[in-house]
Amino acid sequence: MRYTNLLYEEPPVTLADRMRFRFARWIKVKPHTLVNRRPIVTFTFDDFPRSAARTGFDILEKYSVRGTYYVCAGLQGTRNEIEEYASAEDIIDVVTRGHELACHTFSHLDGLRASPGDLARDIDRNSREVAALLNGYKYENFAYPYGRICHGLQVEIAKRFTSGRGVFRGINQGTIDLANLSAELLYHPVEQQATAHRLIEENARVGGWLIFVTHDIGATPSPYGCTEPQLNDALRAATESGAEILTVREALKKIGATPSH
Ligand SMILES: [Zn+2]
């Protein structure tokens, strides 16, 4: 099956973009040194398709833990080839069930292509939409659509949010950049399971903060989602590793990061 309508694939990347990515990796915009006593694992869901809520809530809550959902409010009422994106009801459920709702722009805007003004308006719209649904709810954290970042964008995000999560791979450990949290992909296919186990073990060994990112959850997920057994297995392994399983917001407190607002 060819996926033409999924948002996850990066738009074309130019040589200049690659240079900007590299620069973003070298320069820490919001450096912070972790002070957590126990390893931390976080499960994050981008965009997010309904199954991340409907199936994801049940799996996470079985382990008495919560996840972070990076929402684009503009995707309500739209769908990809597999399923619909979260409805207003799903978005409200994230918060009422104790999970974290975080910002992913209103329209899944490519921060490298948008002007600073357009980006600010799009983020503001995403904030207004959710505040209206949820009694003035305020986002604390952000994930870069397509994982695309550059130095200027990170500076803007650092002003508005406590953290910005990208998709640079790796375990967050030592001194990290809060404006560019690293994340690992919890995607299909199943060989990812061995990778997830290795990462969880490594994270326990170094006392770090491992953030997984995925999208939909189902028996035949998109290439950017995972199956129920996969998520279950990662949660079990994370629990057995002695790690605390926390939302981004909870983890930031444990690592000693001060909320931006
Ligand atoms: Zn996304």
For the chain, what are the domain ranges? 15-254
CA of 146 to the centre of ligand 1 (A): 5
| Residue 7 vs residues 62, 166, 223: alpha-carbon distances, Å | 29, 15, 12
Sequence-distant (6+) residues with CB within 8 A of 232 are 59
Its pTM stands at: 0.94
- Mean pLDDT value across residues 85-89: 95
Distance 7 CA to ligand 1 centre (A): 6
pLDDT digits (tens, 9 = 90+) for 172-192: 999 999 999 999 999 987 668
pLDDT at 198: 96
Q: Does domain 15-254 have CATH number 3.30.413.10?
A: no
pLDDT class for 4, splitting at 50, 70, 90? very low
Cα torsion angle, 77, 79, 82, 86, sign: negative
Q: Render pLDDT for 14-54 as a digit per residue (tens, 0 to 9).
A: 777 777 777 777 789 999 999 999 999 999 999 999 999 99
Q: How far is the CA of 108 from the centre of ligand 1 (A)?
A: 6
Beta bridge partners of residue 49, listed in sequence order: 85
Element containing residue 204 per DSSP (H, E): helix 192-206
**How remote is the CA of residue 145 from the centroid of ligand 1, in Å?**
4
Distance 78 CA to ligand 1 centre (A): 14
Ligand 1 midpoint to CA 30 (Å)? 22
Ligand 1: distance of its center to the CA of 261 in Å? 24
pLDDT of 43 reads: 98
Residue 15 CA to ligand 1 center (angstroms) comes to 22
